[in-house]
Every structure is written in structure tokens, then in C-alpha cells.
Amino acid sequence: MIDFWASCAGLSTKALQLLPPEAAHHMGMQILAMNPTRFFRPGALDHLDASLRVQVSGLGSLPHPIGLAAGFDKNGIAIKGLAGLGFSHIEIGAVTPRAQPGNLQPRLFRYRSDRSLINRMGFNNDGAAKISSRIAAQFWSNDICPLGVNIGKNKDTPAEKALDDFLQVHAVFRDLARFFVINLSSPNTPGLRKLATPEFMAEIARSFGPEIKKMWIKFDPDMDRNSFQKLVEEAGNGGWAGMVLTNSQRVEAPESGGLSGRPLFDRSNQFLDWAWEVHRGKIPMIGVGGIFSGRDVLEKITRGANAVQIYTAFAYRGPWVVANLLQELAVELPRRGFSSLAEARGSQFA
């Protein structure tokens, strides 16, 4: 039976890839919104080895490290269907206080030859009030699968008012989400990345007070080592929950926007290395960028990540990507001489 559904999923993925990227994504999300996974999913997801379990600050004990990155389900329409596919945690958004349409289409581009995507979506979303009402209506359980909200500012919000936008979105989702991610790293909102300074991070931490323990921060992979490491120091000083490393990489060709997928793997790994040099394992990290195999997952973990998130691999490998990655990870872990992911974390720096 699993083989049958796997074949169906594979055919569906190939069919969707014949459509323009954004149309394919929209259709896939509509299917997932119907929560088809309540009827079927790989049985292997229900019998995971304890060696794959991870502890992540603010998220708790997770059955495995693979979560869904922000940008895939921007509006929280398919979280139950996505949880059924096996993700250990899900990050929706980016969510802004007010709804906004994003940039003009086309704004999402596939490059199969190097398994990458370029997007310039522009924080298109339904706005905090509508999305939070949608989540509340689904009676979501964070104990089953922790939900995170990626927080962005509206495009027309001036930089000096960005913090107000962050506070508004958090207030709306405070009782619905388990964790939050401040987005200072999207390449598609003009001026946003300029806010990634130690001074602004300190201001955010002061404004959120005790809630900063639930707040992660997502950085871009285009800054230099020195600038980034100053931000890592501030993340530790300010009591942030952790860091998400990294967002997409800014490119101008063959299209302008943010590059994600396999070409980002080495660069995002470098940022895990640079962060570890500063905090030596004291600040939790979620590794994102270019993950396509169980070996890639383990590479992020050995570089200090507590968990990982995927996006582009989902688009290319299809709906059973989590089950497949976990099978590969279960083989790779003992092959590398580890008895558990907890033992593997940060081992590259031992």
C-alpha cells in the first residue's frame, strides 16, 4: 500500500512540475489543505528510532530534526496536511500585520539542472488577523507539531516603524504559535536587511522582554564574517531563543531575487561554522539551505545545528521527502560512527 501511494505521490510531483512554478505551488497547497494525509502516509513516520530525536530550545523534544521552512505555507492553509507528511515542526509566513499582494508575477523560477529556485515573492500573505483566525479554526496542537510564525514588516512600513510591525504580528499569534522568527533577511523587501544590526537586535530584545525567549532570528548569507559574528554575539547577549541559518542568497541573474536550493548548501554551512566559533554550542541553531539528502541533514547537525528546515527539496523530491530523508539519515548516522543525533551535534568542532 505504501508503494502504491509513493508511486501516486511521485506521479503527482512530476505532473505539478510541468506547470509554471507558482501555479504548481498553489495547486499543491490546495491539495494539502484538504489534509489527504489523514488517510495515508508512510508507516515509517510512526516508528522512528529514538536516535533521531532532538531537543530544540522553545520547541521541546522533537521526534526528528526535519521541519518545514517559512515561505512554503505562507498563509497557514495546509498545516495539518503538512504535519501529516511527517515534518517535526512547521514555520508559516512570512506574516505581516496587513495583507499584501507581494511583487508582480512571474516571481518564482525553477532551475532543475542545479536543483534550485529563485523567488522574489515579496512577503505576499493574507495578513496577521486572517491567518491567525485560520489557524485558530483548525484547533492546532503545538504538542503534536510545534508551529512557528515568521514575522515580517509590511513593504510600506518605514524602517523606523519595523519594530511596531513585529510586535503587532507577535501579539496576534502569541497564544497560537510555539515559536517566532524575526525576518531581517529576505532579499525581496527593500531595506529590510539593513535592519540586521546589533543595535536593532538589542532594541527588539528590550521591546519583547521575556518573550524574547520564544524569538528566533533569521539571517541572510550575504553578509561578511565580521558583521555576522557581531550579530551572533548580540543574539547571545539579548537572550534570543536561537538563530535560523540561513535565508536565501541575493542574486541578479538569471533572475533577480533570492536563490534557494542546492547551490546554497556550502554557503549556509559556512554560517553555521562562523556562528559556532562565537557561541561554541550555547545558542541553538536551525540549519537551512540546500538540504537534499539524509547526509546533508547530518552535515548540518555536525556543524552545530539542533534541527534543520527544508523548502526547495520538498518542491523537487515530492511529498514523501521527509520520510525519504529520515530513512537516509538513519543509514548515515551509524555509518559515520554516531549512536544518536545528540552525539553528532557539533562533532565537527570537537
78: which strand partners? none
State yes or no: is 186 an active-site residue. Answer: yes
* Structure-block grid coordinates of residue 40: 495515508
- Which letter does DSSP use for residue 261 in this model? E
* Residue of 235, 286, 308, 336 whose CA lies nearest to 87: 308
Contact 184, 218 (CB under 8 A): yes
Strands 307-310 and 66-68: parallel
Contact 93, 127 (CB under 8 A): no
CB atoms within 10 A of CB 144: 9
> What is the Cα–Cα distance from 64 to 161, expressed in whole angstroms?
38
- Which letter does DSSP use for residue 54 in this model? E
* Structure-block grid coordinates of residue 158: 518605514
Contact 169, 199 (CB under 8 A): no
257: which strand partners? 251
| Given 88, 185, 186, 268, the catalytic residue | 186
* Structure-block grid coordinates of residue 241: 531563543
Beta strands in the chain (DSSP E): 54-56, 60-62, 66-68, 90-95, 108-111, 116-119, 147-151, 179-183, 215-219, 242-245, 249-251, 257-261, 285-288, 307-310
* Residue of 123, 214, 125 whose CA lies nearest to 175: 214
> What is the Cα–Cα distance from 118 to 29, expressed in whole angstroms?
19
CA distance to 20, 82, 205, per residue, from 209 (Å): 44, 32, 6
Neighbour-count burial of 114, counting CB atoms closer than 10 A to its CB (0-12 exposed, 13-18 middle, 19+ buried): exposed
The residues assigned a catalytic role are: 186
